[in-house]
Amino acid sequence: MPFIERLKFTVLGTLSTTTAPTPYPKENPTQYWFGTRSLPYFTRLRPLWYRWDEAKGDFIKIIPLKLVIKYFDAITLAFWIMGDGYWDTDQATILLCTENFTHAEVAALIELLRSKEGIVATPRKRGSNLRIRISSRSIDLLRRLVRPHMHPA
C-alpha cells in the first residue's frame, strides 16, 4: 500500500482524486485501484492510448509504440513491474500482465525489452491472451536495472 499511496498522492498527485486507494479484495487485498481527475489533459491523451473497436462497440487499449520507445528506460520498467507485474514463484521470474494487448503489441514490447535494456523475455499464454515472462537468464540484469527505482515494500 505505501507504493500505491506514493504513486497516487506524490507522483500523480495533481492528476488524482483525493480519496484513498481502494483495496481489492477488501479482505487480504492483492490489488489496489484509484481514480484520476477528469481533466482536458486526459481527453487529449486518450486517442494515443485507446481506439474505437467496431466489433466490440467499445474503446480498446493500444500501445503508442513510438512514444513508448522514446521514453522507455529502467525507471519506466520499474514502475511497469510495480504496477502490472508480479514474481512467479514457480518459475522464479517476473511476469508482466499484458492481457489487454494484441499479440503483435506483446511481441513489440518483448522486442523493446531486448533492444533497450538487453532483457530476454517470451510470451506466456493466459487463456487466449499473452503475458510477458522475463527469462530467468535476465533476472540478475533486471534486478540491477530496476532496484534503484523500486519502492521499498
pTM given for the model: 0.82
Dihedral sign for Cα atoms in the order 3, 138, 89, 61: positive
The string of pLDDT tens digits covering residues 56-114 is 999 988 899 999 999 999 999 999 999 899 999 999 999 999 998 999 999 999 999 99
- Which pLDDT score, from 0 to 100, does residue 151 have? 84
What is the distance between the alpha carbons of residues 131 and 100, in angstroms, rounded to a whole number?
9
What is the distance between the alpha carbons of residues 104 and 124, in angstroms, rounded to a whole number?
13
- Asked if residue 1 has pLDDT above 80, the reply is no
Domain coordinates in residue numbering, the chain = 1-37, 63-149
Q: Cα–Cα–Cα angle for 141, 63, 13, nearest 5°?
A: 80
Please tell me the CATH superfamily of domain 63-149, with its number: Homing endonucleases (3.10.28.10)
- Which pLDDT score, from 0 to 100, does residue 97 have? 95
C-alpha cell at 23: 483495496
CB-CB contact of 87 with 94 (8 Å): yes
Mean pLDDT of 42-54: 91
Per-residue pLDDT band for 153 (boundaries 50, 70, 90) equals low
- Which pLDDT score, from 0 to 100, does residue 145 have? 97
